[in-house]
Structure 1
Amino acid sequence: MNQPLRIGLIMQGGRGWIGGVEYIKNIILALSSLPDEERSTFEICLLYYGESFEQDIQNQLKPYLKGTYNLETELDSFTFFNRLKWKVKRVVFKQSDPRTSNFLKKNKFHFVYPFLVPDAEKAPYQGCPWIYDFQHKYFPHLFTQSDIDERDRGFAKIANSSSRVVLSSKTAAADFKKFFLNSECKTEVLQFRTSLPLSWYELNSVNLQSKYHLPDKFFIISNQFWQHKNHLIVLEALKILKASSIYPVIVFTGHPYDYRKRDYIDTILQTIHTCGLVNQVYLLGLIPRIDQIQLMRRSLAVIQPSLFEGWSTVVEDARCLGKKMILSDFPVHLEQDPPGSAFFDKHSPQQLADLIGEWWEKLKPGSNYEEETLAQARNREEVKTFGYRFLEIARIKAF
């Protein structure tokens, strides 16, 4: 009998980057959606650091995992002897991360993701790094110089040391080839899909609307309050519509903190008040994901105005629900191209205002159950395709 492929997935993100958590979670759920015969050929373990793996996420994923490992407690301690030993391994044997390497060998992993194993390193396991996006190349003013340097160093190390790298879109893969012209590193495109529990489709979304004291009609934007998410263009669009006596309501969800510009949320609040939009804008902050999805179901449509994305989780969530979307014309959004979407110039508040005004009058709140049922059926197949694609990447040179 062949040995099952032992996959170690390293948890990404946290409260400061919910998209990273959802990315790994969606890989686990996609793999778990595959037929029993296929699932018997692999096992999934989750590796995490400290509090990056919150209890509610643990409870959701536990049925699908062979094991979980907290690397803060699993890795060898920083004793003087260990530090000396690791230095020898780094210098003499070119081993990049001795502590983690020892752990991976001990637990007999075959494939670790996302994780860079340099080609020069002879290890009994394989890994593949992931580059989420090249936002810092297009919007350097949104980053500190140390952030830019750190990303450049990390991405260059991947380009120079790895035989392949995973990117979430064809757009990002093209960027990799543009920025690393001489790299022999092969790009693997893995376009992720969102998985939602079936029970979430059966909940009464009107109850969630009442919980947050929202009006019956509203659009929803679910993004963390980072500058590249382009919230201000939405407020500009509302200001334009207000001049024509059109008063749409927008609900914003997401963590209200941008570590790169701590006063960004203050700019949002000031704009709301100076433009007289207090009665049209609801800022709910970071709410439970189940609540966020129910509010999406209840909304007229989802708006995603971002200037930049690696592959938008918000778009994939809305796709699962069969919701209409108003999207900025950023290339990754065009690549995702969900059904029922309309695009606007990401720098044109007038184009956005025209779409919001039109849909405010035309659309009805709540789920379109026919569209939602069709979306569920499409999603089941798309999630399986995503799972098979991940396995294809994991099995390359895995044994």
Structure 2
Amino acid sequence: MNIGIYAEGFISWGGGIDFIRNILQALTIHNDETASYTIFLLIKTNPIPNIKCCRAGYWVRKILRKTKISTHNYNTHIPHVIDAIKNIKGTFHTIFYHEHELEYIIKTYNIQIILPVLPSCYKSYIRIPQIGYIYDFQHEYLPHFFSVQEINQRKENFHEILSQCKTVIVNAQAVANDIKKFYPDCTTKIITLPFGATTPINLDVIDTKIIQEKYHLPSHFFLISNQFWQHKAHLIAFKALHLLNHKNIHIVCTGNINDYRNKDYFASLEKAIFEMNISSQIHFLGHIPKWDQIGIMKKAIAIIQPTLFEGGPGGGCTFDAVSIGTPAILSDIEVNLEIKHIENIFFFKTNNEKSLADTMSKIIHTPPTHLDQETIKINNTMRTLTCAHILNSIIQKEITHE
């Protein structure tokens, strides 16, 4: 059986890349045990990049067609994808293809199913099963963050994928509940993936001291690894740091600083930081290599996830934190509270800087006990295998039309 991991739409933001990485890791681990299928990572790009890759564990096949190459449409996200997947254990094949070549690729490599398919990326002309993916219903709960056109487009895309796909996967029970709420007549099978299907990370290859020096980081810091979108609520964390009034404690931020919905958002954060006189305690690193991010996370006191809305419990940064044993402080929104029976997860009242400051202070003065690395590794593998078995079951049922 040949499976296509369909990356279209996911590679433009860090959380999307992480989700594809987690799907790949789960399926390759399962496949190494069963050898039941061949996995192809499908990445659309314009133009096709000249990337050479001969690592053990995976290889890149470039599909070169007669296409007009122009510099303005080069996909700048490709290096981030390669960086994120380079340490995945297991075998898969990466195919870069041009805009109109997907059908050709599927036929050429006899791909029998593709997943996960974003609502905006469903292809009605593809005659093989497509497993859909719905991220969240933020547009229903926080409509002021979207234009009317964006809201209508989301609704149209969601309706199409829920009516055309036999199976749709989600990252949280809250999203599954929202599908029932907003699409009560939907007959599509909705499968919730388990929390923490993270990549088992070999920390031995990450030199945290070198990474700390590379980015000129302080000795004591919390980490926020989010895109700078308004609903991520960075300002609450900065206000909490101000309330903490501890000059030796810093916050390091990674992630793209641009929010296309509010181009002045980052500037407004910088202004607020200046007015609180904590500019020297906030460090903006932008989008950095994945394994640098993991190294920084390993050195952090804890990650902070102040988000107002998520499609998966804690977001991707919490998955990563759990996978390496770094404590996590999360807003107590409904989806985050789905995280249960996980060590060193702490909650604060959403949008409440005082509650967050109190939680930060508690962790500073009474550091939580860390799990040993062997236990972390075992837990990672078990979570990943759980996700793998669920995905494999979905794939088998789609292929056999059960």
TM-score category (smaller protein): 0.7 to 0.9
Q: Deviations over 1:60-92 (max 9, x none)?
A: 2798455333331662xxxxxxxxxxxxxxxxx
Q: Deviations over 1:103-128 (max 9, x none)?
A: 534432211112489xxx89762111
Q: How does 1:1-399 map to 2 (within 5 A)?
A: 5-13=1-9, 16-34=12-30, 36-38=32-34, 40-50=35-45, 51=75, 52-54=77-79, 56-57=82-83, 60=86, 64-72=90-98, 75=101, 100-101=102-103, 103-115=105-117, 125-191=128-194, 193-198=197-202, 200-242=203-245, 248-311=249-312, 312-337=315-340, 338-363=342-367, 368=370, 370-399=371-400
Q: Secondary structure at the match of 1:378?
A: helix
> Would you say the 8 A contact 1:105–1:124 is kept in 2?
no
> Would you say the 8 A contact 2:222–2:304 is kept in 1?
yes
Shift of 1:160: 2.6
> Would you say the 8 A contact 1:26–1:194 is kept in 2?
yes
Q: Secondary structure at the match of 2:40?
A: strand
Q: Secondary structure at the match of 1:114?
A: strand
Shift of 1:146: 1.7
> Would you say the 8 A contact 1:246–1:357 is kept in 2?
no
Shift of 1:362: 2.8
Shift of 1:173: 0.4
Shift of 1:13: 4.5
Aligned partners of 1:193, 1:372: CA distance in 2, in Å?
Answer: 17
Shift of 1:239: 2.3
Aligned partners of 2:334, 2:88: CA distance in 1, in Å?
Answer: 36
Q: Deviations over 1:242-284 (max 9, x none)?
A: 2xx6763111111111111111110110011000001221111
Q: Secondary structure at the match of 1:309?
A: coil
Q: Secondary structure at the match of 2:260?
A: coil
> Would you say the 8 A contact 1:11–1:53 is kept in 2?
no
Deviates more, 1:25-34 or 1:129-138: 25-34
> Would you say the 8 A contact 1:304–1:325 is kept in 2?
yes
Aligned partners of 1:162, 1:204: CA distance in 2, in Å?
Answer: 44
Q: Secondary structure at the match of 1:252?
A: strand
Aligned partners of 1:207, 1:247: CA distance in 2, in Å?
Answer: 21
Deviates more, 1:262-271 or 1:203-212: 203-212
Aligned partners of 1:196, 1:261: CA distance in 2, in Å?
Answer: 36
Which letter maps to 1:10? Y
Q: Secondary structure at the match of 1:125?
A: coil
Deviates more, 1:107-116 or 1:20-29: 107-116
Which letter maps to 1:216? S
> Would you say the 8 A contact 2:25–2:89 is kept in 1?
no
Aligned partners of 2:163, 2:309: CA distance in 1, in Å?
Answer: 26
- Structure 2 counterpart of 1:80: none
The count of aligned residue pairs is: 363
Q: Secondary structure at the match of 1:154?
A: helix
Shift of 1:376: 1.6
Shift of 1:196: 4.0
Superposition RMSD on alpha carbons, in Å? 2.7
Aligned partners of 1:74, 1:151: CA distance in 2, in Å?
Answer: 23
Change (3 A) 1:214 1:116: closer
Aligned partners of 2:84, 2:298: CA distance in 1, in Å?
Answer: 25
Aligned partners of 1:255, 1:291: CA distance in 2, in Å?
Answer: 15
Q: Secondary structure at the match of 1:315?
A: helix
> Would you say the 8 A contact 1:12–1:24 is kept in 2?
no
Q: Secondary structure at the match of 1:363?
A: coil
Which letter maps to 1:27? I
Change (3 A) 1:112 1:42: same
Shift of 1:371: 3.3
Q: Deviations over 1:127-159 (max 9, x none)?
A: 111101111111111112221111110001122
Which letter maps to 2:154? R
Deviates more, 1:270-279 or 1:22-31: 22-31
Q: Deviations over 1:372-396 (max 9, x none)?
A: 3321210011111111111111111
Deviates more, 1:327-336 or 1:47-56: 47-56
User: Which one has a bigger Cα radius of gyration?
Assistant: 1
Aligned partners of 2:142, 2:324: CA distance in 1, in Å?
Answer: 32
Aligned partners of 1:42, 1:174: CA distance in 2, in Å?
Answer: 32
Deviates more, 1:125-134 or 1:370-379: 370-379
TM-score (norm 2): 0.83
Percent identity between the two aligned chains = 31
Q: Secondary structure at the match of 1:396?
A: helix
